[in-house]
Amino acid sequence: MKIGAFEAKAQFSALLEKAAHGEDVTITKHGKSIARLVAIDDDPKRSGQEIVAALKALRKTETLGELSWKDLRDEGRR
């Protein structure tokens, strides 16, 4: 949903309710998008250990083909 800044100011409570129920609300000024109201995800933040584990798992799935990190480093130094 898009709404002008002046109208958004007058209907702010209703817009917060819409955002809380999953609707993205884009606020415009002179026809240009300037802000967005969205619901905050209630999922707990991931711990540092979970993030590191996810990155390690990602590294196993992404490959450089026949290149190695050392090859890329050396290529960049030429």
The structure's pTM equals 0.52
- Tell me which DSSP letter residue 43 carries: S
What residues does each domain of the chain span? 2-37, 48-77
User: Model confidence over 19-49: pLDDT tens digits?
Assistant: 999 899 999 999 999 999 998 876 667 788 8
Please enumerate in sequence order all residues whose Cβ is within 8 A of that of 25, keeping only pairs 6 or more positions apart, or say none: 1, 2, 3, 8, 15, 18, 19, 36, 37, 38
> Which pLDDT score is estimated for 35?
94
Residue range 58-74: mean pLDDT, rounded? 79
Percent of the chain surpassing pLDDT 70: 95
